[in-house]
Amino acid sequence: MAAETAFAKINLALHVRRREDDGYHAIETLFAFAEDGDRLTLTEEPGLSVSGPFAAALAEGDNLVIRAAEAYAEATGRQPAGFRLEKNLPVAAGIGGGSADAAAALRLLCTRDHIDTGDVRIRELAASLGADVPACLVSRPVRGEKRGDSLIPLDGVPSGQPLLLVNPMRPLATGPVFAHWDGVDRGPLDQGDPIEAAGKGRNDLEPPAIAILPVIGDILTLLASQKGVLLARMSGSGATCFALFDREASRDLAADAVAAEHRDWWLMRTRLR
């Protein structure tokens, strides 16, 4: 059966500009994606079966994959589908897990039915499922504005750049992190070269996330101290942090050092798509 990788998402930078009247926050962010993630397969049986190291962490009942499939069938009039999900990414981790899974489901269904993922029905459907789903549907570097779902393609993010993801195995819900944001607009995200913009930028959700879960600060400090690191930052609303490295050998040495010191943390050695 057809299968898709639900690529892990990272935010190279994330600037929170203001809270809108509808309760959502206006942000400016640089999305990039890892080569690895969850794995979703179309099945002949209806429903969703889940396996993998983080299967037990998924809440029963409501799931974005099922919601995406049901919304797709309603929007297109095509037949429903079933899925098998290999859950390799931690849940509530700031790397787009559920959003990436939903986006992978949409890609699989569009391929099955010969529908372009750029079809306005699919784009609107993706946005209705969550602010990160449109970027995850593309799963290529994009700049996100408004809620993060207004997308501009990015050139200059180096495919193949060694990447290390680290999570303290503590879930962190998005809502409380945004609720703890201090409301201060610290300025726009630079235009131009995305890596330079990321380096000059920040993740405005890091301070509130660290206030809720201080171990995030420990991860960032440890990553930033590793040899060959080019950028160390928290992704999204956390708790996963990432580091970009100059070469794979540096990444692997850093991963070994982190794993030796913190055996209870989750790590993924990967590269940018």
Same-domain status, 208 and 254: yes
Domain with 242 in it:
162-271
pLDDT at 136: 98
| pTM for the whole structure | 0.95
Letter string b/e over residues 221-243, b meaning 16 or more CB atoms within 10 A of that residue's CB:
ebbeebebbebbbbbbbbbbbbb
Q: Find the mean pLDDT for residues 245-251.
A: 98
Same-domain status, 100 and 201: no
Total domain count, the chain = 2
Query: Whole-angstrom Cα distance, residue 200 to residue 170?
Result: 28
Same-domain status, 112 and 185: no
Q: Is the pLDDT of residue 39 over 60?
A: yes
Confidence of residue 61 (pLDDT cuts 50, 70, 90): low
Same-domain status, 139 and 22: yes
Give me the residue label for tokens 């309603």: 74
State the helix-helix crossing angle for 97-113 and 64-76, rounded to 10 degrees.
30
Same-domain status, 188 and 115: no
Same-domain status, 91 and 221: no
| Catalytic residue ranges | 9, 132
pLDDT tens digits, 102-137:
999 999 999 999 999 999 999 999 999 999 999 999
